[in-house]
Amino acid sequence: MGIGGYVTLAAAGVRADELGLDARVIADLPRYPLPALLIARLAVDERCRRLGLGRGLLLFALDEALVARDRVGCVGALVDAKPAVIGFYERYGFVQVLPSVADGKVGRMFLGIATIADALRRP
């Protein structure tokens, strides 16, 4: 058996006004991009799907967001999801923050760090 799936992560920045937050909340946040963790690639081999591997890779990524929060700051996780996998991320609480990026084929989704900490039962 070879590699069943993989995930790659990258440091990213997100502007407060991209997150669909209330205007009063945005007013209290810095104008510069806020640090976030981008799930750059997350894929499971077709022969290994629906076995829980994608969930495990996602939970690993979300745990890394908490590590980043504690060390350098991190407001949440971002992913650019193709239409076929938007439902996968929605299952874990991600919300679409931009309908699509330039090519119209992927939607940027976001999961806030407080929700991640609650889900992984961390302070």
Q: Which residues bind ligand COA (CB under 6 A)?
A: 41-44, 49-55, 81-82, 84-85, 87-88, 91
Amino acid residing at 25: V
Residues 122, 62 contacting (CB under 8 angstroms): no
Q: How far is CA 37 from CA 3, 4, 20, 27, 123, in A?
A: 24, 23, 18, 23, 19
When the beta carbons of 26 and 86 are compared against ligand COA, the nearer one is: 86
Q: In whole angstroms, how close is the CB of 108 to ligand COA at the nearest point?
A: 12
When the beta carbons of 29 and 43 are compared against ligand COA, the nearer one is: 43
When the beta carbons of 25 and 95 are compared against ligand COA, the nearer one is: 95
Q: In whole angstroms, how close is the CB of 87 to ligand COA at the nearest point?
A: 3
Residues in the chain: 123
